[in-house]
Amino acid sequence: AIDAPRVVPQKPLDGVEFQCLEINSSNTAELAYTHIYMFDWVFAKSTLADLAKVLQRSPFYVLLSFRKPTEWWSYGLNKIQPVAKVPGFRTTGGEGMTCYFYVNVEKLPAQ
């Protein structure tokens, strides 16, 4: 008789890795992550423009950002499409923010 393979249960979030990175378009070729979350509410426009170049080269599937689609598109990040948004985030100063969920259209399945 052949024993059935044993499945070792994984702990929740075993496949999750959080990293804090310094990124700009001159020193970063791409971000090799499937999901990217950024608290980009406080980023300067020049930082967003540099970051858009890096993201445009990156193979991510999902991007979470506090910036509107039109702003990202204006910086050249044109391979993203918004699919959801969650309002209600508040800064310590009481300013309201909305988190936008984007998908990378280059990763969508062929029809």
Length of the chain equals 111
Whether residue 4 has pLDDT greater than 70: no
User: What's the gap between Cα 69 and its chain centre?
Assistant: 13
Would you call 13 helix, strand, or coil by DSSP?
coil
User: What is the pLDDT at residue 106?
Assistant: 96
Pairing mode, if any, of strands 35-37 and 62-65?
parallel
How far apart (Å, rounded) are the C-alpha atoms in residues 49 and 34? 21
**3-class SS of residue 35:** strand
Bridge partners, 36 (sequence order):
63
pLDDT at 27 over 90: no
Q: Mapping DSSP to helix (H, G, I), strand (E, B) and coil, where does residue 28 land? A: coil
Residue 24 has what pLDDT? 64
For residue 69, is pLDDT > 80? yes
Q: Is 80 exceeded by the pLDDT of residue 110?
A: yes
The secondary structure of residue 42, as a DSSP letter, is G
pLDDT(44) > 80: yes
